[in-house]
A = this chain, B = another copy of it.
Amino acid sequence: MVIVMDVNSTKKQIKEVTDRLNELGFRTQLIHGVKRIVIGAVGDRKAVDLVTLEQMPGVEKVVPIMHPFKMVSREAREEGTKINIKGIIIGSRKVTVMAGPCAIESKKQMSDAAAFVKKAGAHILRGGAFKPRTSPYSFQGMEEEGLKILKEVSLETSLPTVTEIIDEPSLNLALKYDVDILQIGARNMQNFRLLKTVGQIDKPILLKRGISGTIEEWLMSAEYIMSEGNEKIILCERGIRTFEHYTRNTLDLSAVPLVKQLSHLPVIVDPSHGTGERSLVLPMSLAAVAAGADGLLLEMHPEPTKALCDGAQSLPPSGLQQLVEQLRKVAHAVGRDLS
């Protein structure tokens, strides 16, 4: 890291900063600039909060040089992480499609959804039992009853499942009903307590990027999970909040190849939330795979017009079928295949 001293900083102040850095285990080196002294500090950035240095007398600012994430970084593991979900390998040459309703509403709805998912050639069934909603007056999910349905349908169809958890009680229920992938939603990307908790279990975690999460913060949240021991992390880009309001969010597809450079973790894309608009789901799904995504998370509802949640962005069954067919061609064009 580099510490820029103030134009008017004194020798004494410079000495105090270098002493402090040495104390913290950094090796230091002075650079005498035209007007200022700059201190190069070599060592483990984990050892220090940059902000505490920044307010030592005479310090103008601290400029970090290296990325703050360690265990999730590509440097820590050159080969990409592969995560095996009952034989489906996320992070492999094969692209994985997860699809299903935003919210679990009934046994019939989920059975129908699962049949369509299977028929379309998708691989994993999604369905939410705990729904974080902006309004307290909106449908909040079927909770345990929903997880029970998800489990039944999974057994009937042999489809692995993914569901969102929002706190410890919902996590425990998801474990009880043996969901295959646990999703941390965008609003919980920085719920550090929850991240630590899922870091201590042995289940794949699908970590969505927060609506205003930087790529650095997102990877630091993955670092929270991995630093507790759980290495099975799937990152999911789902759109960020910008000034543009014709789409619900702005899907940041450049995050896909960039994260694959920075990290060894697999990355998938959720174009349903990412755009909020059914008609954009197909083109953005194709684009996601062309950009290098390892999979997709899609909202599909057997009858979108009756959905209790996010109907406007849900595909009908025929839409999913068509999407998977076209996706296969694009996957081939970039040297991959569908699972």
Q: Which residues of A contact B (CB under 8 A)?
A: 2, 4, 7, 29, 31-36, 38, 40, 42-44, 46, 49, 51-52, 54-57, 63, 65-66, 68, 75, 132-140, 166-167, 187-188, 190-193, 196, 211-212, 214-217, 220, 223-224, 227-228, 240-247, 250-258, 261, 274-275, 277-280, 283-284, 286-292, 304-314, 326, 329-330, 332-334
Contacts and interface: CB of A to CB of B under 8 A. Distances in A.
Q: Which 10 pairs between the two chains have the least Cβ-Cβ distance?
A: A212-B212, A290-B290, A287-B291, A333-B333, A31-B40, A287-B287, A329-B333, A286-B290, A257-B283, A55-B311
A277 to B, nearest CB: 8
Given A214-B243, A326-B333, A329-B334, 16 more contacts: A49-B308, A51-B310, A51-B313, A56-B305, A57-B305, A134-B217, A136-B227, A136-B228, A212-B212, A212-B241, A212-B243, A214-B246, A240-B244, A241-B243, A242-B243, A250-B252
Given A214-B244, A308-B49, A330-B333, A65 B63 contact: yes
Given A283-B290, A312-B55, A132 B190 contact: yes
23 contacts: A31-B40, A35-B75, A134-B217, A135-B220, A135-B223, A136-B224, A136-B228, A166-B192, A187-B190, A191-B191, A214-B244, A214-B246, A240-B250, A243-B243, A246-B258, A250-B250, A250-B254, A254-B284, A283-B290, A286-B290, A286-B333, A330-B333, A332-B333
A212 B214 contact: no
A250 to B, nearest CB: 5
Contacts of A250: 240, 242, 250, 252, 254
Given A240-B244, A241-B243, A314-B55, A261 B279 contact: yes
Nearest to A275: B254
A286 B286 CA distance: 10
A286 to B, nearest CB: 4
A287 to B, nearest CB: 4
Contacts of A46: 135, 137
